[in-house]
Amino acid sequence: MDKELLNFLLSGEQQKNFKEKDDRMFEILNKLNEIDSKLQLLLKSKPNKTLCEQILEKTYIIVSHKDVDPKLNPSLFILDLDGDKALVTFKDTIELLQIYFKTYKEEVEMKLPRRLMPLFSFLKKNGLIYLDHEDKTYKFI
């Protein structure tokens, strides 16, 4: 540890007699290590991520309607799943998905980027999109 920091922590006392102050120095070092470990744990465990952070991490999230205010989050796409739950993602993501639908038509599953596959799979599995056999493109219900 830097001598200036120890000097500051020991209220400006000189470090000439380390043997006399060993106990105090180790006590301070232990406290500093304890503080550091708690801060590291806090930074790693950050439990309350924002909606945007959660969506960026997973592409989409399913949350209760009360957790999302469309007025506060105008860039979010909110799709009602049932009375209480909603699928939430970014509007840009849905627009990108629609572009892929129009461009690659029925081959969209093979051309989609890996990042969009979870959303596409969820929408398809739950019947929120379908393959229109007339023009061979996926469409939202």
Instruction: Check whether residue 27 and residue 70 sit in a common domain.
Output: no
Instruction: Check whether residue 69 and residue 123 sit in a common domain.
Output: yes
Q: Which domain holds residue 31?
A: 3-45
What pLDDT was estimated at residue 118? 92
Residues 138, 105: Cα–Cα separation, whole Å: 7
Task: Encode pLDDT of 41-52 as tens digits.
Answer: 777 766 677 888
Instruction: Check whether residue 9 and residue 39 sit in a common domain.
Output: yes
Half-sphere exposure of 41 (CA within 13 A, CB side): 6
Instruction: Check whether residue 69 and residue 136 sit in a common domain.
Output: yes
Three-state SS for the chain is CCHHHHHHHCCCCCCCCHHHHHHHHHHHHHHHHHHHHHHHHHHHHCCCCCHHHHHHHHCCEEEEHHHCCCCCCCCEEEEECCCCEEEEEEHHHHHHHHHHHHHHHHHHHHHCCHHHHHHHHHHHHCCCEEEECCCCEEEEC
Instruction: Check whether residue 74 and residue 133 sit in a common domain.
Output: yes
Instruction: Check whether residue 56 and residue 124 sit in a common domain.
Output: yes
pTM of the complete model: 0.63
Instruction: Check whether residue 34 and residue 87 sit in a common domain.
Output: no
Q: Which residues of the chain have pLDDT under 50?
A: none
Number of domains in the chain: 2
Instruction: Check whether residue 68 and residue 132 sit in a common domain.
Output: yes
Task: Encode pLDDT of 86-111 as tens digits.
Answer: 999 999 999 999 999 999 988 998 98
Instruction: Check whether residue 21 and residue 75 sit in a common domain.
Output: no
Instruction: Check whether residue 41 and residue 75 sit in a common domain.
Output: no
What pLDDT was estimated at residue 2? 60
What pLDDT was estimated at residue 34? 85
Instruction: Check whether residue 24 and residue 86 sit in a common domain.
Output: no
**Could you give phi then psi for residue 64, rounded to 5 degrees?**
-75, 150
Instruction: Check whether residue 34 and residue 69 sit in a common domain.
Output: no
Residues 64, 73: Cα–Cα separation, whole Å: 15
What pLDDT was estimated at residue 98? 93
- Residue for token digits 């209760």? 64
Residues 74, 92: Cα–Cα separation, whole Å: 11
